[in-house]
Structure 1
C-alpha cells in the first residue's frame, strides 16, 4: 500500500505531461504530414526557412518550387511548413 502511494504521484505526473505536451504535438505533426502528402501543383506554400513559393512539380520525396518567374528550387517535402490559403 505504501508503494502505491509513492508511485501514484509519479504516474499522475507522467499522464499529465503526456496529455499537455506530447499528445498535442503528435496531433500537430500528423496534420503537417497530411498537408505535405496532399500538396498539388499550383499550391502556394511556406517552407520551414520562411521561403514563400508556388509548387511547380511533385515527386515521391521532393518538391520543385517556383520562386520568381522561371526560378525553380528543389526541396524535400518535409521542409514545407504550411500551405497558404
Structure 2
C-alpha cells in the first residue's frame, strides 16, 4: 500500500504531461493532416514562412505556389500552414492573416 501511495505523484505528473503537452500536439497534427489532404489548386494559402500565394499544382510531397503573376515557387507540401481565403466554391477555412 505504501508503494502505491509513493507512485501516485509520478502517475499524476505523467497524466498532466499527457493532457497539457501530448494531447494538444496530436490534435494540431491531425488538423494539419486534414488541411493538407483538403488542398486543391486555386486555394490561396499561407506558408509557414509567411508567404501568401495561390496554389497552382500539388504532387505527393511538393506544391507549386504562385506568389505574384507569373512567379511560381516550389515548396514542400508540409510548409503550407493554412488556407487563407475562400476558394471559388466555398467559404474560407481560416481568417485572413491581417485579422490575426
Residues in 1 aligned to 2:73 and 2:61: alpha-carbon distance in whole angstroms: 14
- How big is the shift at 1:10? 0.5
In structure 2, the residue corresponding to 1:42 is in which secondary structure? coil
- CA drift of 1:34 comes to 1.2
Q: TM-score, normalised by structure 1?
A: 0.94
5+ residue gaps, structure 2: 85-91, 93-100
Alignment RMSD (CA, Å): 0.8
| TM norm structure 2 | 0.81
Aligned residues between the structures: 85
> Does 1:17 find its partner at 2:17?
yes
Matched, 1:31 2:31: yes
Runs of 4+ residues over 2 Å off in structure 1: none
* Partner Cα separation in structure 1 for residue 24 and residue 5 of structure 2: 29
